[in-house]
């Protein structure tokens, strides 16, 4: 008898939770009539509405930023005029776009995904396109991509010859898209007042295979003999591969002793912050976000010391720069109109997406090439009555 009571309770609990999961908690879309210039919220960012013959979109107000520490410049959103093309782009069918790959590119990909989904949901009463983004790393992403399991793969490093071969073997044709620039920042403890600028040769001396550097005085005469403590990126990451290639001349080659590796950049930040002689590296945006906890080191490749910044990375004067890519499966472009629409949407709004995800944007020249390449590649879906 007692058993029966508890059984029915369990059943009731489970039925209740399944019922809740079926109903969901999502609030209904607010479809209020907005006017040009009206305020809107981050939640609705990139929602598109048709007002008469014009199109308006909820966008960030220029001069404000999602990442501003200054409260006056904190992000504000308002309905601003947009083009019919954006409306057409957003009209993606009820399809799922699967994205995976580099965790470095992930934030940008997720920003683009969020904006695209919001735009897509606002156009029709249909569910709109659905985008899913994973973060299994450049290598892990290609592993799935070349089996045809994803539509788009993000990469913090151009596809390698072995990954190419895997894709070819599986008959996966793809298109490479340069999506952003990235700088690798070398960071030290804020109280490190000697290593403000390091040469590439010195970096190689510290990080290369067989390095005997144990103290800062081993790096350059005149540095104190504080023990040097190294923090590196996880060996499966594109960041690790790029850094070793740029510094040591060969990818994945690094000293075997004395480097603490972690997939989590926060561990590196905490480690470098906690030890006076520590040194680490990661993506520039990560370093900018944590500029109070770690100090950025200038890098000299023979042409003087260069501070890592958007401008020096874009201009190519900062030696530890790298391009970031996204790879699109060609077959998905033709079978899923949403994939092409998503890529076009991303490229059209690249500047804002880069800024919101704190990425180093493409230069104007790079962007022009990109726009041209993408225009030939993605067929923008059409909506009745609207011409591109």
Partner 1 sequence: MNVNADVVGSRFAPNLRDSTSTARKSRDKIFLLVLWFATLCAVLTLFFLILTTLLKGAGRLNLSLVTNFPSPFPEDAGIQSAIFGSLWVVITSGFASLFIGLGSAIYLEEFANSTSRITRLITLNIQTLAGVPSIVFGILGLAFVARGWLGWGFSVGTASAVLTMMVLPVVVVSSREALKAVPPSLREGSYALGATKWQTIRKQVIPAAVPGIATGSILGVSRALGESAPLILLGALAYVSSNPSGFGSDYTVLPLIIMKFTQDAQDEFRAVGAAAIIVLLVLLVSLNLLAIVIRDRSRKSW
Binding part of the chain for partner 1, among 11-19, 219-227, 314-322, 375-383 by CB under 8 A, reads 11-19
Using the minimum distance from each CB to partner 1, give the nearer residue, 135 or 207: 135
Distance CA 317, CA 48 (A): 39
Whole-number minimum distance, CB 6 to partner 1, in Å? 4
Whole-number minimum distance, CB 365 to partner 1, in Å? 27
Calculate the CA dihedral of residues 172, 178, 179, 182 and round it to 10 degrees.
120
**55 Cβ contact list (under 8 Å, min separation 6):** 48, 49, 81, 82, 83, 84, 86, 87
Q: How far apart are the first and last CA of the chain?
A: 71
Applying CB under 8 A, among 144, 204, 205, 214 the residue interacting with partner 1 is 144
**338 Cβ contact list (under 8 Å, min separation 6):** 92, 93, 95, 97, 120, 129
Give yes or no for residue 30 binding partner 1 (CB under 8 A): no
Using the minimum distance from each CB to partner 1, give the nearer residue, 193 or 264: 264
Instruction: Please count the residues of this chain forming the interface with partner 1, following the rule CB under 8 A.
Output: 50
Give yes or no for residue 286 binding partner 1 (CB under 8 A): yes
CB 356 within 8 A of CB 60: yes
The HSE-up count of residue 20 (CA atoms within 13 Å, CB side) is 6
Give yes or no for residue 142 binding partner 1 (CB under 8 A): no
Using the minimum distance from each CB to partner 1, give the nearer residue, 168 or 264: 264
3-state secondary structure 305-318: EECCCHHHHHHCCC
Distance CA 168, CA 368 (A): 29
Give yes or no for residue 110 binding partner 1 (CB under 8 A): yes
Binding part of the chain for partner 1, among 131-139, 162-170, 195-203, 239-247 by CB under 8 A, reads 131-139
At 234 the three-state DSSP class reads coil
Place of tokens 């010391």: 305
Distance CA 183, CA 241 (A): 14
Give yes or no for residue 66 binding partner 1 (CB under 8 A): yes
Give yes or no for residue 21 binding partner 1 (CB under 8 A): yes
DSSP state of 276: T
- Give me the residues paired with residue 261 across strands: 232
DSSP state of 74: B
Using the minimum distance from each CB to partner 1, give the nearer residue, 8 or 83: 8
Binding part of the chain for partner 1, among 159-167, 212-220, 257-265, 344-352 by CB under 8 A, reads 257-265
Applying CB under 8 A, among 119, 131, 294, 320 the residue interacting with partner 1 is 131
Using the minimum distance from each CB to partner 1, give the nearer residue, 107 or 337: 107
Applying CB under 8 A, among 49, 122, 136, 244 the residue interacting with partner 1 is 136
Per-residue burial over 198-216, b if 16 or more Cβ lie within 10 Å, else e, is: bbbebbebbbbeebebeeb
Give yes or no for residue 107 binding partner 1 (CB under 8 A): yes
CB 105 within 8 A of CB 283: no
CB 253 within 8 A of CB 296: no
At 191 the three-state DSSP class reads coil
Binding part of the chain for partner 1, among 23-31, 156-164, 171-179, 219-227 by CB under 8 A, reads 23-31
Residues 148-187 as x/- pattern, contact with partner 1 by CB under 8 A? -x--------------------------------------
CB 56 within 8 A of CB 80: yes
Residues 333-352 as x/- pattern, contact with partner 1 by CB under 8 A? --------------------
Phi, psi of 155 (to 5 degrees): -145, 135
Distance CA 306, CA 319 (A): 8
Give yes or no for residue 291 binding partner 1 (CB under 8 A): no
Using the minimum distance from each CB to partner 1, give the nearer residue, 6 or 32: 6
Applying CB under 8 A, among 126, 162, 196, 266 the residue interacting with partner 1 is 266
Alpha carbon 152 to its chain centroid, in Å, reads 13
Give yes or no for residue 357 binding partner 1 (CB under 8 A): yes
Give yes or no for residue 6 binding partner 1 (CB under 8 A): yes
Give yes or no for residue 32 binding partner 1 (CB under 8 A): no
Chain residues binding partner 1 by CB under 8 A are 2-3, 5-6, 9-10, 13-14, 17-18, 21, 24-27, 42-43, 66-67, 96, 98, 100, 106-107, 109-111, 113-114, 117, 130-136, 144, 147, 149, 263-266, 285-286, 289-290, 356-357
């Amino acid at each position: 008898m007692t058993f029966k009571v508890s059984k029915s309770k369990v059943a009731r609990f489970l039925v209740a939770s399944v019922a809740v999961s079926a109903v969901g908690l999502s609030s209904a879309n607010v479809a209020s009539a907005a006017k040009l210039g009206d305020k809107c919220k981050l939640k609705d960012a990139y929602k598109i509405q048709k007002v008469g013959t014009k199109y308006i979109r909820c966008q960030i107000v220029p001069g404000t930023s999602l990442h501003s520490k200054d409260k006056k410049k904190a992000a504000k959103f308002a309905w601003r005029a947009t083009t019919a093309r954006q409306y057409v782009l957003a009209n993606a069918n009820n399809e799922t776009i699967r994205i995976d790959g580099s965790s470095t590119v992930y934030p940008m990909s997720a920003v683009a995904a969020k904006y695209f989904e919001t735009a897509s949901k606002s156009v029709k009463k249909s569910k709109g396109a659905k985008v899913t983004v994973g973060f299994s790393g450049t290598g892990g992403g290609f592993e799935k991509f070349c089996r045809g399991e994803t539509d788009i793969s993000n990469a913090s490093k151009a596809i390698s010859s072995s990954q190419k071969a895997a894709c070819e073997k599986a008959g996966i044709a793809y298109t490479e898209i340069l999506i952003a620039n990235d700088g690798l920042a070398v960071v030290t403890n804020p109280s490190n007042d000697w290593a403000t600028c390091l040469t590439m040769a010195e970096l190689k001396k510290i990080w290369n295979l067989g390095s005997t550097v144990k103290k800062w005085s081993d790096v350059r005469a005149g540095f104190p003999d504080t023990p040097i403590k190294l923090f590196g990126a996880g060996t499966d990451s594109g960041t690790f591969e790029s850094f070793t290639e740029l510094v040591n001349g060969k990818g994945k080659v690094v000293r075997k002793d004395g480097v603490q590796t972690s997939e989590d950049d926060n561990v590196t930040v905490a480690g470098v912050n906690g030890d006076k002689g520590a040194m680490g590296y990661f993506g520039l945006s990560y370093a900018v976000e944590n500029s109070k906890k770690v100090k950025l080191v200038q890098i000299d490749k023979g042409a003087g010391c260069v501070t890592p910044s958007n401008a020096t990375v874009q201009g190519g004067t900062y030696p530890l720069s790298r391009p970031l890519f996204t790879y699109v499966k060609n077959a998905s472009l033709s079978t899923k109109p949403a994939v092409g629409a998503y890529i076009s949407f991303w490229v059209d709004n690249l500047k804002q997406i880069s800024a919101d995800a704190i990425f180093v944007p493409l230069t104007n020249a790079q962007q022009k090439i990109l726009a041209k390449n993408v225009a030939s590649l993605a067929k923008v879906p059409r909506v009745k009555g609207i011409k591109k």
